[in-house]
Chain A
């Protein structure tokens, strides 16, 4: 017997509340609590690949929300479907107990634990300084990103 639809879809929000725009994933996660059905879990991860793999275990579809490096337009939303798109590897300086999303995806693929659908919502940041507040242009996107993620989840629940 397959798991209920809600269980088979999850959201992983990545980020750090005290690193400027890196908080966007966490802010979106908070907004999603009002928008998602209660049976869709929202996990907040700090970038620990092992925790992410654990949270993705047995899921059919996962939506990840994270800040991404500046590309010229702070607050711009990028949607990546990892069945066709690829994530750039995280920058140097990572360690095994804090692998990034790209490494978590690579590890999950190597272990054949990747959810059938893995969608990434990446919001361009501008400032990632320790102790900084999110910049206004990034903070202003919280509601719209949350609504987009909620629509994605609804769609995934229909199709998987």
Chain B
């Protein structure tokens, strides 16, 4: 029986090192495995016994691109356990720092990682030689997002100003006003980015994902909302385990998540957008329509447009929050620890990031559980890869690899980083 096995061996220096294996028998794709083989990082174990106040700074180290997501999910879970709900300007500041993270993360992914795929360049450096202005604008966007995080978080990477109950220090109105002009410029750059990426050639490819995202009564979601899906799921975040399950697979150190009884689902920009289009401001909805998007987009290659749309939204939301800012009376509300379990779920740039913590009477962590977006999307990415590869089985290995890499880059900036540096080996019978 003719067998062809395509190994993509190594995805390096990412938040999850990965590889890909396709097995083809008799011209038919029989298995697709996206392997995450990064050694276990043991964050959940090392959190045990730590004081609740230490948690945000520890979990920030999980990711260099989206540390705010881990901090936000953690502080909301801690506050949930101790019976506190963030309100007013402290809540608004948390949305604001999240805007910064979306801007910098999406700008990096859209312009530096994903766009070269559509224009035939191996990487952003080669693309920059002919599209210097686009790359310069991307750097300006990333810088604007970083600046927002720095002002609110103390520094751009792994910010240190977030604490349970609020912040260690809140900004003055003048400090926030000083970055408004930068964000206004960033919004204009982001609008141009939407129009640019909307002109890319997109494969005619759709998948019937079950989308999962937070949904809030009034807002496009960052920190708050119920967990909903395109198949009718609508639950409190505390009921995550009732609807979702994680399982070990032998070829990956990342757990695979699925919806009980239904399996793979998708989190991230496509899901957020599809489930919350009506929560976008009319101006952003109009821009999405101008870019050729309807209220739902099921083509993962078009996620580049959705990310660009979310940059525009994050800039507009940041400007709105800054305009309405009044420094709160206290930087943080004191919390009273108690033995309890708390849940937090927020929208990282790549999708929902769910946390659960159990605390002892002194507020020390007894157990911790963190479900990041990447592991939730693994089964859907495998299904994407199978669908994409099935259309190219007669192609040479390098063509097949290129299409698979692109498919990975549709979903996750961290995996995408590595996918630019794939090494390929092919075993033939």
Q: Which residues of A contact B (CB under 8 A)?
A: 50, 53-54, 92-98, 103, 106-107, 110-113
Contact = CB atoms under 8 A, between A and B. Distances in A.
A94 B125 CA distance: 14
B128 A110 contact: yes
Contacts of A53: 139
B8 interface: no
29 contacts: A53-B139, A54-B139, A54-B143, A92-B12, A92-B423, A93-B12, A93-B13, A94-B421, A95-B14, A95-B420, A95-B421, A96-B112, A96-B113, A96-B417, A96-B420, A97-B65, A98-B13, A103-B125, A107-B124, A107-B128, A110-B126, A110-B128, A110-B129, A110-B135, A111-B132, A111-B135, A111-B136, A111-B139, A112-B132
Interface in B128-173: 128-129, 132, 135-136, 139, 142-143
A102 to B, nearest CB: 10
Interface in B330-357: none
B173 to A, nearest CB: 26
A106 B112 CA distance: 14
Contact of A50 (B14, B132, B142, B416): B142
B108 interface: yes
Interface string B1-30: 000000000001110000000000000000
B32 interface: no
A110 B136 CA distance: 10
A150 B356 CA distance: 53
Contacts of A113: 136
A95 B14 CA distance: 7
A97 B108 contact: yes
Contacts of A50: 139, 142-143
Nearest to A107: B125
Given A50-B142, A54-B143, A111-B135, A95 B417 contact: yes
Given A53-B139, A54-B143, A110 B418 contact: no
A111 B128 CA distance: 6
Q: Which of A54, A106, A107, A112 has most B Cβ within 10 Å?
A: A107
Contacts of A96: 108, 112-113, 123-124, 416-417, 420
Contacts of A107: 124-125, 128, 135
B421 A92 contact: yes
Contacts of B113: 96
A95 to B, nearest CB: 4
A110 B421 contact: no
A95 B13 contact: yes
Contacts of B128: 107, 110-111
- Shortest Cβ-Cβ A-B pairs, 8 listed: A95-B417, A110-B128, A93-B12, A110-B129, A95-B13, A96-B417, A106-B125, A111-B132
Contacts of A54: 139, 143
Contacts of B143: 50, 54
Contacts of A112: 132
A63 B124 CA distance: 25
Interface string B406-418: 0000000000111
B13 A110 contact: no
A50 to B, nearest CB: 6
B139 to A, nearest CB: 6
A107 B65 CA distance: 20
Contacts of A111: 128, 132, 135-136, 139
A7 to B, nearest CB: 19
